[in-house]
């Protein structure tokens, strides 16, 4: 399996010069948070506005690679009206980690980053935004997007979980890829504000290459030869589909994962900035030790995730505060599902990660 990954990544090194000539990029800095100087401890937030005007509202969402699409409370958007919303598609997104189902309308919006920031160029994006008018926690029967769509499954007694109307303070900036199969069929690449860029500093070079890099400083929009220097690439698969898809629509990161000394299982990884804990799904014959009456790996378990060109490697319970070890690691054994790991956000303390939307690649570079 390792050789398979290596073959994939060597093939991609040949394409590494694809960013040559691209020269437009700008940073959206993460806002300071009370994390004792250790980034990727809590949510990583950025500023944005729906208009490049001093009088416009400044929003502070967290950057979420575990979802795709901006999910913002309609009640907090002064210019939102029901009349306008009705002109646009109704929509919903379900976030499995919180079991929250967000409903609203996908309203096309201008999105501005770095407004009024003398040190960073103004970045203008355009995306439909899910302006949320209700939220439901699907905490009864298991939600299935294909069947349940925009409402939670009924409880065994036939009732629905309570719906909260006009919720405030919802601020999610979903910028991930391959999330459509996980409760977000509407989370297509056209909803991702980091790859639908209209201009940087008022213009857009014809050499602009859509993509972004996540580092402890923030998000660098636009890939260039210079900012991709030292990146090692992994090719992402195309998604098999009978309907036409966006050229920026790519499958999940291939990875081979193991617990303790077992041979690794080939599957996919999600490097999720939205979580500080981790979830792993392994085949049923995997031998893992969990704490009594929980699905949590015991402290001392060794977890390795091999991306072919980079690894994420930690011992549960060791160096959670500063290292790549997630807060906790929950394991599911299943032969019905492809092996999978959501590493959580601590992995970004050791790796800078680029998403090349044009070439369908992820780049890894050790944090220096």
Ligand X SMILES: *[C@@H]1O[C@H](CO)[C@@H](O)[C@H](O)[C@H]1NC(C)=O
Smallest distance from the beta carbon of 217 to ligand X, in angstroms? Answer: 19
Smallest distance from the beta carbon of 174 to ligand X, in angstroms? Answer: 16
Smallest distance from the beta carbon of 313 to ligand X, in angstroms? Answer: 17
Smallest distance from the beta carbon of 40 to ligand X, in angstroms? Answer: 10
Smallest distance from the beta carbon of 39 to ligand X, in angstroms? Answer: 12
Cβ-Cβ contacts under 8 Å for 186 (sequence gap 6 or more): 69, 91, 92, 93, 106, 130, 180
**Residue 361 Cα to chain centre, angstroms:** 15
Closer by beta carbon to ligand X, 75 or else 262:
262
> For residues 194 and 111, what is the distance between their CA atoms, to the nearest angstrom?
10
Closer by beta carbon to ligand X, 13 or else 38:
38
> What 8-state DSSP symbol labels residue 278?
E
Smallest distance from the beta carbon of 27 to ligand X, in angstroms? Answer: 13
Tell me phi and psi for residue 136, to 5 degrees.
-135, 135
Closer by beta carbon to ligand X, 178 or else 190:
178
> For residues 42 and 194, what is the distance between their CA atoms, to the nearest angstrom?
21
Two tokens, residue 95: 């976030």
Measured CA to CA in angstroms, residue 145 lies from 102, 132, 150, 210, 274 at distances of: 12, 18, 8, 29, 20
Cβ-Cβ contacts under 8 Å for 110 (sequence gap 6 or more): 50, 51, 52, 124, 125, 126, 198
Closer by beta carbon to ligand X, 327 or else 330:
327
Dihedral over Cα of 34, 37, 40, 41: its sign? negative
Closer by beta carbon to ligand X, 107 or else 305:
305
Closer by beta carbon to ligand X, 244 or else 263:
263
Closer by beta carbon to ligand X, 90 or else 98:
98
Q: Where are the beta strands (DSSP E) in 43-155?
A: 62-64, 68-73, 90-95, 100-113, 123-137
Smallest distance from the beta carbon of 25 to ligand X, in angstroms? Answer: 8
> For residues 334 and 20, what is the distance between their CA atoms, to the nearest angstrom?
43
Maximum CA pair distance of the chain?
Answer: 61
Smallest distance from the beta carbon of 265 to ligand X, in angstroms? Answer: 7
Give the residue among 122, 90, 124, 86 at the shortest CA–CA distance from 106: 90
Closer by beta carbon to ligand X, 308 or else 326:
326
Instruction: Give contact residues for ligand X (rule: CB under 6 A).
Output: 23-24, 41-42, 144, 146-147, 205, 207, 262-263, 276, 283, 285-286, 292-293, 327
Helix (H) or strand (E) holding 254: strand 253-259
Smallest distance from the beta carbon of 258 to ligand X, in angstroms? Answer: 8
Closer by beta carbon to ligand X, 41 or else 136:
41
Smallest distance from the beta carbon of 192 to ligand X, in angstroms? Answer: 22
Tell me phi and psi for residue 144, to 5 degrees.
-130, 115
How do beta strands 340-342 and 265-270 pair? parallel
Closer by beta carbon to ligand X, 15 or else 262:
262
Q: Which residues, listed in sequence order, are joined to residue 22 by a DSSP beta bridge?
A: none
């Amino acid at each position: 399996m390792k050789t398979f990954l290596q073959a994939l990544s060597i093939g991609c090194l040949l394409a590494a010069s694809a960013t040559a000539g691209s020269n437009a990029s700008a940073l959206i800095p993460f806002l300071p948070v009370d994390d004792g100087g250790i980034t990727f401890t809590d949510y990583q937030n950025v500023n944005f506005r729906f208009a490049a005007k001093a009088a416009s509202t400044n929003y502070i969402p967290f950057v979420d690679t575990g979802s795709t699409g901006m999910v913002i409370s309609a009640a907090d958007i002064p210019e939102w009206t029901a009349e306008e919303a009705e002109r646009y598609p109704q929509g919903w997104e379900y976030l499995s980690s919180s079991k929250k189902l967000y409903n609203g309308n996908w309203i096309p919006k201008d999105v501005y980053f770095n407004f009024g920031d003398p040190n960073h160029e103004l970045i203008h994006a355009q995306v439909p935004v899910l302006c949320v008018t209700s939220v439901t926690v699907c905490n009864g029967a298991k939600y299935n997007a294909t069947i349940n769509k925009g409402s939670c499954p009924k409880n065994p007694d036939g009732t629905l979980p309570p719906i909260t109307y006009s919720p405030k303070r919802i601020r999610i900036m979903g910028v991930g890829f391959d999330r459509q199969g996980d409760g977000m069929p509407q989370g297509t690449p056209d909803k991702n504000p980091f790859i639908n860029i209209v201009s940087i500093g008022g213009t857009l070079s014809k050499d602009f290459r859509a993509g972004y890099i996540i580092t402890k400083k923030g998000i660098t929009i636009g890939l260039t030869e210079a900012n991709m220097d030292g990146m090692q690439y992994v090719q992402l698969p195309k998604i098999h589909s009978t309907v036409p898809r966006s050229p920026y629509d790519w499958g999940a990161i291939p990875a081979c994962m193991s617990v303790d000394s077992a041979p690794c299982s080939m599957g996919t990884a999600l490097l999720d900035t939205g979580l500080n804990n981790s979830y792993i799904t392994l085949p049923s014959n995997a031998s893992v030790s969990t704490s009594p009456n929980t699905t949590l790996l015991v402290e001392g378990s060794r977890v390795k995730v091999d991306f072919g060109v980079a690894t994420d490697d930690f011992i549960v319970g060791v160096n959670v505060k500063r290292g790549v070890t997630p807060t906790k690691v929950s394991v599911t054994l299943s032969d019905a599902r492809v092996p999978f790991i959501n590493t959580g956000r601590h992995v970004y303390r050791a790796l800078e990660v680029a998403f090349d939307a044009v070439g369908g690649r992820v780049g890894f570079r050790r944090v220096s």
